[in-house]
Structure 1
């Protein structure tokens, strides 16, 4: 019995550091990206394109105001309508929050429009990656930064920025509080949405 107890204690001492390490790793804060809405379209509107970001009182009202290049999503207790189109337009019943653009053009036989929610505690970041088309950010809280070969851009709550397509990038929470952003994509639907990359 005594030998069994000694063996059990020895095994516990042997396993404890590994278990502690695993628990610590599981609790390590991360930059989290979550898809909210997406659709595929065969063509984009002509001319310069902007993302129009609007709030609606209900999901039904937002759905009723949707166009062929619109997406509805819910985030932070609000209903959002995202519409890709010309500048200066408004949707009936909506409250315009931002107009982001112009969005760089991408040529494809089919396009994927996607809205992601992204963010995390200060210092958390994405791996370096690329998308087959441009992305745009609207920051809801905190501060978001994006590094590309073109430099580093920082945007705070209530601000927006247009990113680059087919360009290595790293995105991170750069403020003193948790960041949360809505991220809008217009990408080539025939290619992988995201691919690992590195800076030269």
Structure 2
């Protein structure tokens, strides 16, 4: 019980110190598989740091007037990747924001380097089983429309692993609370100043 009190005390102290903290000068880019919590964590961190939050998928949906799955269906993956690249190049501020990137964004040739040039790249990492459990109720995920979604998730993780692990920081999100992951991102952001 003392450990829990100490943990909460440290969390509260960290939150209180944010009132006196400068905003990070560099952008923070969250990469990783769907279901790792990029959007949830990004929103939470942005609120705590008083910076803007952008979700690349949502921004593209607003711009195009269609969902990501509709863009894939109607125009193909290549068109969607072009829209992602355009968003990273000019669709958000050059500093003081946090961006949740689509899971495949950093697989575009040269994109990880481009993200690094614009900011600090954090990979939120989770295994296939954890991801499946988090997204299995979301019927809007095209990945769940295959015969064996767990196997498909694992296949994608294996294809992207080496790129994801080249991030400036990798945070393990397997069975870790949103609060704890957010605090790790905040710690990284405060270290950027």
Normalised by the size of structure 1, how large is the TM-score?
Answer: 0.23
The structure carrying a bigger strand percent of its residues is 1
Name which one, 1 or 2, has greater alpha-carbon Rg: 1
Structure having greater relative contact order (Cα 8 Å, sep ≥ 6): 2
Normalised by the size of structure 2, how large is the TM-score?
Answer: 0.24
